[in-house]
Amino acid sequence: MQVPQDGEDLAGQPWYHGLLSRQKAEALLQQDGDFLVRASGSRGGNPVISCHWRGSALHFEVFRVALRPRPGRPTALFQLEDEQFPSIPALVHSYMTGRRPLSQATGAVVSRPVTWQGPLRRSFSEDTLMDGPARIEPLRARKWSNSQPADLAHMGRSREDPTGMRASTMPISALPRTSSDPVLLKAPAPLGTVANSLRASDGQLQAKAPTKPPRTPSFELPDASERPPTYCELVPRVPSVQGTSPSQSSPEPEAPWWEAEEDEEEENRCFTRPQAEISFCPHDAPSCLLGPQNRPLEPQVLHTLRGLFLEHHPGSTALHLLLVDCQATGLLGVTRDQRGNMGVSSGLELLTLPHGHHLRLELLERHQTLALAGALAVLGCSGPLEERAAALRGLVELALALRPGAVGDLPGLAAVMGALLMPQVSRLEHTWRQLRRSHTEAALAFEQELKPLMRALDEGAGPCDPGEVALPHVAPMVRLLEGEEVAGPLDESCERLLRTLHGARHMVRDAPKFRKVAAQRLRGFRPNPELREALTTGFVRRLLWGSRGAGAPRAERFEKFQRVLGVLSQRLEPDR
């Protein structure tokens, strides 16, 4: 699912059901993971995520954090607890693909959207949220002063209601707690009142601290008085503004580097040939998974990685791989100094230039290293046959998530397919037969969709349009410029050569479009630091060859590991 742009109307999302009651929403949720987004009539039309988890229907109201208007920036951010997103579609996409709990108290995870089957009865954009028809006007209108620090990030508040108070709707039990009173509250405070408790008065220069979370269960059933059930408790993290002077402003959450807008290129800038080769893969970065000195294929690290990949959905892993590939290719995160040294604005353009030799070697190293690691994930399964078949299915599902039209990371797709097509893996007849028997859909997708697609990409005839693709397939062009021979008959080789060069020219021309599409794919994405590190070239190189062997010549390292994979393959299924 592609992340929509900021401010896009929610009516265009298949999981948004418009104005829908709690009872009707719960009737649509059948099994764990089902979810939908609706406008709650009892909450003034505010957006609510309704999901089914562990046999119960849960409801989470989305917070809205208003920001001071700035050109090119969103007017509001949306959050459940910790993370903030520029739009509700970005929030839903992040929690669904990352398989992360909506709240720490409930642990509810959403995975299957319940789509709306008919036309929406109501449509509104995210800028009009919190201004629904059920909002009650304040008793006295006051002019809101923008000179106070608390105005910079007031939550859940519109300009028509500067005090953020709903005097006629706030229950007495929702008043802010000012002491550690051990008495339990009768009912948890509505979510809107938690956000509205952070406010500023006319003479106040500092914002009040957020209230303590109520000491109540995350959700509770209706009592004997038939009072409607409360919404699930969320504990949003409110940025602190205490200790700031009137002249200072509350810091807004900074966008990650892959979402930051790049500076405009200076006109008439003189090109200077770089004195040193440009590298986008730091080799001495500290590791949180490996020690300063490690041996090849440490069992404890392999066990940690296995659990790490099992925790993430293939769509989430694909986004992590896209992020790392964009950085390694120099498509995103390129500094101004690097652009000045390269003479171009991205690594896609540098790959075609003479001084892009070092970057081309890095990308070849990355492609082969990831392919070896993928093959090891299958050949390292020394347990039951079903375990190896499940590993094959996981790689096939990851390849499907990386293909054009999905995430669109073609270098990542080529690495995964390189692992599946490696001779040491393709010779495992019993494993592939088990895959076709137990996971028929994955086996059919591999044979009928992925293999023809990879063949077309290698021949320069596959899809490469920006929008469908976020990062193009650069391996054929890199091999060609590094002097590797093109296999096949002479006439076919010449035709493939011309297609590769033609594709390289279009890739350079469309480099700004690819950068824009990749940034859109990653908008609102918050990666797992350990999984992100596990997909970097330096980490995989140290994992496979150890801290000492990683510095050996490239050809020698790959030849040695190919023999290791051959031995593992023979042990799993010996030749007859």
Binned at pLDDT 50, 70 and 90, residue 1 comes out as very low
125 confidence band (pLDDT: 50, 70, 90):
very low
Quote the pLDDT of residue 369.
Answer: 96
384 SS3 class: coil
Least confident of 1-15, 206-220, 301-315, 404-418: 206-220
CA 165 → CA 10, 117, 140, 350, distances in Å? 27, 37, 11, 56
Express as a percent the part of the chain with pLDDT over 70. Answer: 68
Strand partners, 66: 76
The owner of tokens 């007017």 is: 75
317 and 188 both lie in a single domain: no
Average pLDDT, integer, range 54-60 = 87
Q: What is the pLDDT of residues 319-349, one digit of tens each?
A: 999 999 999 999 998 888 888 888 888 999 9
Is 427 within 8 Å of 573 (Cβ atoms)?
A: yes
pLDDT at position 260 over 70: no
Q: Where are the alpha helices (DSSP H) in 59-105?
A: 88-98
Q: Is residue 571 pLDDT above 60, yes or no?
A: yes
Q: What is the model's pLDDT at position 487? A: 60
322 within some domain: yes
pLDDT tens-place string over residues 527-536: 999 999 999 9
pLDDT for 504 equals 92
Please report where in the chains the tokens 């490469």 appear, as a residue. 464
What does the pLDDT look like over 558-570, one tens digit per residue?
999 999 999 999 9
- pLDDT given for residue 5 in this prediction: 40
Domain assignment of residue 330, yes or no: yes
Give residues with Cβ within 8 angstroms of 333, minimum separation 6.
257, 258, 280, 326, 327
Residue 333 belongs to some domain of the structure: yes
Which amino acid does the sequence have at 514? F
One domain, residues 316 and 178:
no
* Of 107-111, 217-221, 363-367, 485-489, minimum mean pLDDT range: 217-221
Tokens matching residue 459? 């021949």
Strand spans (E) along 42-166? 46-53, 56-61, 63-66, 76-79, 84-85, 112-113
Model confidence at 4: pLDDT above 90: no
Q: Are residues 305 and 192 in the same domain?
A: no
Q: Could you give the CA distance from residue 95 to residue 115 in angstroms, rounded to a whole number? A: 17
For 59, phi then psi, to 5°, come to: -135, 130
Helix (H) or strand (E) holding 385: helix 385-402
Question: Would the pLDDT of 383 be above 70?
Answer: yes
Lowest mean pLDDT, pick from 78-82, 139-143, 376-380: 139-143
- The more confident residue out of 573 and 214 is 573
Question: 321 and 190 in one domain?
Answer: no
For the ranges 138-152, 156-170, 247-261, 547-561, the one whose mean pLDDT is highest: 547-561
Q: What is the pLDDT of residue 272?
A: 59
Position 75 scores a pLDDT of 79
469 has a pLDDT exceeding 60: yes
420 has a pLDDT exceeding 90: yes
Distance of alpha carbon 333 from alpha carbon 571, whole angstroms = 44
Helix or strand run (H / E) with residue 19 = strand 16-19
Q: Can you tell me the mean pLDDT for 254-271?
A: 56
pLDDT per residue over 69-98, tens digit each?
Answer: 777 677 788 888 778 888 888 888 888 887
Model pLDDT, residue 208: 43
Kindly tell me if the per-residue pLDDT of 129 is higher than 50.
Answer: no
Mean pLDDT of the chain: 76
Whether the pLDDT of residue 198 is over 80: the answer is no
Q: What is the mean pLDDT of residues 161-187?
A: 39
| Domain assignment of residue 276, yes or no | no
Instruction: Report the pLDDT value the prediction gives residue 234, as an integer from 0 to 100.
Output: 66
Q: What is the pLDDT of residue 493?
A: 75
Q: How many domains does the chain have?
A: 2
Here the CATH number for the domain that contains residue 483 is: 1.10.840.10
The residue range of the domain holding 513 is 299-572
Residues 519 and 379 both lie in one domain? yes
Whether residues 188 and 314 share a domain: the answer is no
Give backbone dihedrals phi and psi of 429, rounded to 5 degrees, phi first. Answer: -65, -45
Mean pLDDT across 467-478:
93
Does 249 map to a domain?
A: no
Residue 396 has pLDDT above 90, yes or no: yes
Percent of the chain with pLDDT over 90: 39
Which of 64-78, 136-150, 278-292, 307-321 shows the lowest per-residue confidence on average (mean pLDDT)?
A: 136-150
Is there a single domain that holds both residue 443 and residue 303? yes
| pLDDT for 428 | 96
Position 284 in a domain: no
**In-domain check, residue 116:** yes
- For residue 214, tell me if it sits in a domain: no
DSSP H helical segments within 330-356, as ranges? 336-342, 347-350
**Domain match, 383 and 497 both:** yes
pLDDT, tens only, 537-554? 999 999 999 999 998 999
Tell me: do 169 and 307 sit in the same domain. no
User: Are residues 535 and 389 part of one domain?
Assistant: yes
- Residue environment code for 360-381, b if the CB has 16+ CB neighbours within 10 A, otherwise e: bebbbbbbbbbbbbbbbbbbbb
Average pLDDT (120-135) is 43
* Arithmetic mean of pLDDT, 141-169: 41
